[in-house]
Amino acid sequence: MHDFLPITLNSLKDDARIGCDIYLHINNNGSSRYILYCKSDAAFDDEQKEMLVRKNINKLFIGKDDKKKYNEYLESNLQNILSDERIQPKEKAKIFYGSATNMLQDVFKEPRFENIERSKTFAYNMIDYILKDGRAAYNLLKITSHDYYTYTHSVNVATIGSLFAKSIGLSEKDMKTFCTGMLLHDLGKTMISSDILNKKGSLTDNEYEEMKKHPEMGVSVLRDSGDSFNEEYSIILQHHENCDGSGYPFGLKKEEIHYSSRIVRIIDIYDALTTKRSYSTPQRPFNSLKVIRNEMYNAVDHSMLKSFIKFLGGHEG
């Protein structure tokens, strides 16, 4: 079992070449084994899929070594998968979230031009999905991870932020720029020591000063990658600025902070509070909002926070 990874049948498009062998898991009289169902160089056709549907088989398997190939297939076919009306919204959300986290793992591991471009394409697909599927909001909010890693946090922030952006009426163009910036907002952490990022307990003054460099480092990484951004730079650079001037790296005040960055500041805090960290347990959504309102009220845009609370209230439960 440890040599194989499960995948969902609905992630496999008709007549698509997946690029890796597909297996079935068979239990027979207490004996467990994997049998080859579709070879990597063969198209997974409609007849094969229908046979599995008739037998009520929804879970297939790939070898662990083929995970990267499967993720590449999934990412390149994501738009078609999300537009397939035969796939339930909850399952689409799982496929989408899994593909997003895998993509961002690659970005944070190797923040080069090709991977940065993948994040931009992914952001555009995310916004198309949110705008076209009215049920996406509920399912995506439910699927966000409660375990904190830099890449899952970035997907969470982009997911929640994009849905919130839709609720307050941002244009499609602005939503796509906004989503790209949110996916990449913590890119500078690739330049911070993992000992600091994963430290249990409070950072020393020197460690905190090092951590405060990550917004500027993120912009530097983007520029070094050769990609060109505009508004996304503001999100990356300003997502730790506070409306009362107490944030970093520049100590900007509300009127100096970009509109998008003020949104990201709230969602960044909210997701950090609601996910499990190395030094803290996750808070429930309502309690997290209370912490922001009671302890960080002067740091955030008040009208934006009010809209965010209203937005979450419409999707909780």
pLDDT digits (tens, 9 = 90+) for 246-284: 999 999 999 999 999 999 999 999 998 988 765 567 788
Rounded distance between C-alpha atoms, residue 138 and residue 143, angstroms? 9
Show which of 66, 85, 117 is a domain's final residue. Answer: 66
Predicted model pTM: 0.88
Where in the sequence is the domain holding 46, given as residue range(s)? 1-66
User: What are 54-109's pLDDT values in tens digits?
Assistant: 888 888 999 999 988 999 999 988 888 888 888 888 888 888 888 999 999 999 99
Rounded distance between C-alpha atoms, residue 277 and residue 280, angstroms? 5
- Output the DSSP codes for 289-300: HHHHHHHSGGGS
Q: Average of pLDDT values for 194-209? A: 89
Residue 72 lies in a domain: no
User: What are 161-189's pLDDT values in tens digits?
Assistant: 999 999 999 999 999 999 999 999 999 99
Clarify whether residues 172 and 243 are in a common domain. Answer: yes
Count Cβ atoms within 10 A of the Cβ of residue 152 and give its class: 0-12 exposed, 13-18 middle, 19 or more buried.
buried
Clarify whether residues 17 and 137 are in a common domain. Answer: no
Total number of domains constituting the chain: 2
Residue 97 lies in a domain: yes
Residue 105 lies in a domain: yes
Clarify whether residues 138 and 211 are in a common domain. Answer: yes
Pairing of strands 4-8, 16-17: unpaired
Of the candidate ranges 28-42, 133-147, 244-258, the one whose mean pLDDT is the lowest: 133-147
How distant is the alpha carbon of residue 124 from its chain centre? 13
Residue 116 lies in a domain: yes
Q: Average of pLDDT values for 232-252? A: 96
Radius of gyration for the alpha carbons in the chain, expressed in angstroms and rounded: 21
Residue 271 lies in a domain: yes
Rounded distance between C-alpha atoms, residue 202 and residue 239, angstroms? 21
Handedness of CA 278, 283, 288, 291 (dihedral sign): negative
Show which of 15, 33, 66 is a domain's final residue. Answer: 66
Tokens of 257: 């902070």
Which CATH number belongs to the domain containing residue 256 in this structure? 1.10.3210.10
Q: Which amino acid is at 73?
A: Y
